[in-house]
Amino acid sequence: MAVLVPISVEEYLENPTEPESEYLDGELFQKATGTNLHSRLQGRLIVLLNRFQERGLGQVVPEQSIRVRPEAVLIPDVAVLIPDNAEDGVITSVPLLCIEILSPSDRFSYTFRKCEEYTRCGVPACWIFDPVEQRAWISDVHGLKPVAADGTLTAGEISLLMAEIFPGS
């Protein structure tokens, strides 16, 4: 999954990659191609999170590059930025929430590593979803916790019920 030829973060930022890739410590990691289930869940989460945006609690953005430290630029499937964020391009301010949705070719260990990076830069919570198994986890400063099928995912003032995310399951 990683490109073996190391590049600098400056090269990464100046030369957009196709297909889209994330940058961690000199290595490129190609983003997995999403499936129909992945895309539908991503759209559903954006719709559900928009109610918090409408209340002024944050800006909901899909596939936004976020520089979590000088040598790391990650691209969560969905992020909630601070309400007054006016940055254009790669985001450098700390998001309120980052969301990762597993695709069949994703490795859970890499996805969890991304969540650890988000936590280290100050993101209060990272949610991980498996759209096939209809499961979710919350990663934060306390570690990784599974969310029960009748549970709630929270990140500060933002919360969603599993029943809203996976209706009929």
Of 85, 78, 131, 122, the residue nearest 104 (C-alpha) = 131
Predicted TM-score (pTM) of the model is 0.92
Query: Measured between alpha carbons, how far is 25 from 34 in angstroms, rounded to an integer?
Result: 24
What's residue 5's pLDDT? 62
Reduce the DSSP state of residue 129 to 3 states and report it: strand
Given a cut of 70, whether residue 48 has pLDDT beyond it is yes
What's residue 153's pLDDT? 98
37, two tokens: 């289930």
List the domain boundaries for the chain. Answer: 34-165
Select 34-165's CATH number: 3.40.50.300, 3.20.20.70, 3.40.1160.10, 3.90.1570.10. 3.90.1570.10
In DSSP terms, 17 is beta-bridged to: none
- Whether cis (ω within 30° of 0) applies to the bond prior to 62 is no
Of 29, 22, 34, 46, the residue nearest 131 (C-alpha) = 34
Higher-confidence residue of 166 and 5: namely 166
Query: Measured between alpha carbons, how far is 136 from 127 in angstroms, rounded to an integer?
Result: 7
- Under the banding of pLDDT at 50, 70 and 90, the label for residue 31 is confident
**Strand bridging mode 126-130 / 97-101:** parallel
Of 133, 89, 90, the residue nearest 108 (C-alpha) = 133
How far is CA 150 from its chain centroid?
Answer: 22
- The percent of residues above 70 in pLDDT, for the chain, comes to 95
What's residue 89's pLDDT? 87
